Structure 1
């Protein structure tokens, strides 16, 4: 009796003899039919299993809608690309920019500052210092009031305050020393220390509506404004420039982006909010 892994012949002890011998044509045709049907069923089952596995693979590869941003899909991928430009935490030590700057401003006492950048961030202290100098030397900045002058100093030269560029986690820890909670997102000022969050310096904030250079000038003037004794201010009215002491990082409340405390030669401000 021929055997096959897909088919086994009848047990002659339980069944009467087949009227057609194994070599006869009817028996051979039946065997072929049974073998064909059995093979067809096996192939159908295999095909169905492949489809199910493929669909399961698709479900495993595609995250649920609510998880797309968490896993780096869609808008989340842009955020992931941006954050790859800088570390979340650096060495915790700072390199001070070299040299210094001339005295800027026409009248008033000279306030001296130094600039320092956290090590391990990939940022050049001298380049950051040049950006800070350009902002504070602009006549639309605080020197435009005519009541003070500024100068950057280097190294061990005494300074009235230091402007730090720090990673999100380092800036959060520094601000927390003064009881301020930034959640690693915003910049802050403590007495004698202006702390600029590296993430905000490199990517500003969503929907700010102005080039990165405008936001950078704003964050420098805002935090240095606190060092000069200025408090937070509100948007005067929708469509008007935001006061530099408005917390523009958290939103503009209908105002337009504005990085300068002096507009048209006059100190521009809003109502105090704290």
Structure 2
């Protein structure tokens, strides 16, 4: 088997004059140095994004024009949320349950369901409902009621639905309520949360989506606990949780809780 040398053809045997040996030695050293640089350059062509290359000029020569991926990337806006307008009217039930929360009073058991095709995880939605109702600013702050989530319909006093706009409108209409596919509603034993409001809240609400979600849970379940609608007490004041904040704040500030500073916060009852 033959092999070629990177330094040229094999030298013939025999002695050479010292000057020639020094010249060949210098040439060989230069070739070895050139080979080492070539190997180092080749090693620098494999770049992991985010790493600082040891040979930036060499790496840049091998990246696309403009400096490489992301060198002048424009910030990308988040894609718009797509909310299904209708679904099959079938619901998935959250499994499991929660401990009883609240100090005293009647126990209200509830279950949580999400419409198929809504694109929302039923356990995540159930966790939001559970967290809201177990909060010391929620309805249990009265010390006169307790709540617990269950999985079986036969054990539940009411059900919290997350439904697409068309389905929620149909469900609310069965109880004589007109929502125009926009608002949520409550019927006896049924708390129906409109998916579009859950995903988008309402224009000019002035608070994060998480605040609106907490509000709509407390508001509709407040109806289940016998609470009616209330008015904004004064411009600049917190909105009562039983104010219809979905339709506007009337000068009040968004508020998701029925109890503030340990006291029931309410406005004038609207007949």
Structure 1 position 122 matched with structure 2 position 112: no
- Displacement of 1:107 in angstroms is 1.3
2:258 maps to what in 1? 261
* Residue correspondence of structure 1 range 3-82 to structure 2 within 5 A: 81-82=80-81
2:137 maps to what in 1? 140
2:218 maps to what in 1? 221
1:151 maps to what in 2? 148
2:191 maps to what in 1? 194
1:234 maps to what in 2? 231
Q: 1:229 to 1:156 in 2, by over 3 A?
A: closer
Q: Retained in 2: the 8 A contact 1:161–1:193?
A: yes
Between the aligned partners of 2:229 and 2:84, the Cα distance in structure 1 is: 30
CA displacement, residues 161-205 of structure 1 (integer Å, 9 cap, x when unaligned): 000000000000000000100000000000000000000000100
Matching residue within 84, 104, 110 for 1:107: 104
2:230 partner SS:
coil
1:14 maps to what in 2? none
- Displacement of 1:208 in angstroms is 0.1
Structure 1 position 205 matched with structure 2 position 199: no
Under a length normalisation based on structure 2, what TM-score does the superposition of the two structures give? 0.70
- Displacement of 1:156 in angstroms is 4.3
Between the aligned partners of 2:245 and 2:80, the Cα distance in structure 1 is: 24
Between the aligned partners of 2:250 and 2:118, the Cα distance in structure 1 is: 33
Q: Retained in 1: the 8 A contact 2:111–2:153?
A: no
Could you list the structure 1 runs, at least 4 aligned residues long, displaced by more than 3 angstroms after superposition: none
Structure 1 position 251 matched with structure 2 position 248: yes
Give the root-mean-square deviation of aligned CA atoms: 1.3
2:92 maps to what in 1? 95
Between the aligned partners of 1:81 and 1:100, the Cα distance in structure 2 is: 33
2:74 maps to what in 1? none
Residue-pair matches, total: 194
In structure 1, stretches of 5+ residues that fail to align are: 1-77
Q: Retained in 2: the 8 A contact 1:96–1:114?
A: yes
- Displacement of 1:81 in angstroms is 3.4
Under a length normalisation based on structure 1, what TM-score does the superposition of the two structures give? 0.69
Q: Retained in 2: the 8 A contact 1:189–1:195?
A: yes
Q: Retained in 1: the 8 A contact 2:138–2:218?
A: yes
- Displacement of 1:157 in angstroms is 4.6
Between the aligned partners of 1:155 and 1:94, the Cα distance in structure 2 is: 13
In structure 2, stretches of 5+ residues that fail to align are: 1-76
Structure 1 position 175 matched with structure 2 position 176: no
Matching residue within 152, 157, 161 for 1:164: 161
1:8 maps to what in 2? none
